[in-house]
């Protein structure tokens, strides 16, 4: 599969059509909350119950997902059983890079993120987006220089929006 340009609208459309329960996290979530930082992948935290894993696997198959960075032709069963056995998956898809995390660092997973999520419009779809506090916690836990720089931006956005 030839790599495609980043198209979060397509990814969100397919996930929504398959009724996948997910919260948008990472750079797209930060952008939805006001960060000017560009991102080139969609990160989601997904519910890990059997029904949702089946819906997620179906959506990923529609998106022609394959493990990003793996050799061409590497066997990978894209089904609920495989998704249940793992937690973090990085895929190349028809919509570009899509990272699916069951329990992102700095979070308790889908249930905790869902409880604090805010609804936001991304690429023409209303989706759940991680709260600014949860994003800050996940970025701090990741600890990479780019994540720590984003923490500073998110803290400034939080301070500015709370001042209003």
Q: What DSSP string runs through 95-146? A: TEEEEEESS-TTS--HHHHHHH-EEEEETTEEEEE--HHHHHHHHHHH--HH
Domains and CATH numbers, the chain: 8-163 (3.30.460.40)
Task: Calculate the average pLDDT of the chain.
Answer: 94
More confident call, 67 vs 71: 67
For residues 95 and 4, give the distance between their C-alpha atoms in angstroms, rounded to a whole number.
6
Predicted pLDDT at 3: 56
- Burial (Cβ within 10 Å: 0-12, 13-18, ≥19) of residue 107: buried
- At residue 164, the pLDDT reads 61
User: What pLDDT score was predicted for residue 37?
Assistant: 94
Q: 147, 140 in Cβ contact below 8 A?
A: yes
Kindly tell me the burial class for residue 77, based on how many C-beta atoms sit within 10 Å of its own C-beta (0-12, 13-18, 19 or more): exposed
pLDDT(21) > 70:
yes
What three-state secondary structure class fits 76?
Answer: coil
Determine which helix (DSSP H) or strand (DSSP E) holds 22, and give its type and residue range.
strand 22-25
Q: Is the pLDDT of residue 1 over 80?
A: no
Judge if pTM exceeds 0.85: yes
């Amino acid at each position: 599969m030839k790599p495609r340009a980043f198209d979060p609208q397509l990814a969100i459309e397919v996930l929504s059509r398959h009724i996948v329960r997910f919260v948008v996290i990472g750079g797209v979530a930060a952008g939805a909350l006001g960060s000017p930082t560009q991102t080139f992948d969609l990160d989601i935290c997904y519910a890990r119950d059997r029904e949702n894993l089946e819906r997620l696997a179906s959506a990923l198959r529609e998106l022609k997902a394959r493990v990003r960075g793996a050799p061409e032709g590497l066997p990978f069963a894209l089904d609920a059983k495989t998704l249940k056995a793992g937690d973090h998956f990085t895929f190349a898809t028809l919509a570009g890079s899509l990272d699916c995390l069951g329990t992102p660092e700095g979070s308790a997973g889908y249930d905790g993120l869902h409880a604090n999520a805010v609804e936001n419009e991304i690429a023409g779809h209303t989706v759940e987006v991680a709260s600014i506090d949860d994003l800050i916690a996940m970025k701090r836990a990741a600890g990479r220089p780019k994540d720590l720089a984003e923490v500073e931006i998110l803290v400034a956005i939080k301070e500015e929006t709370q001042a209003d």
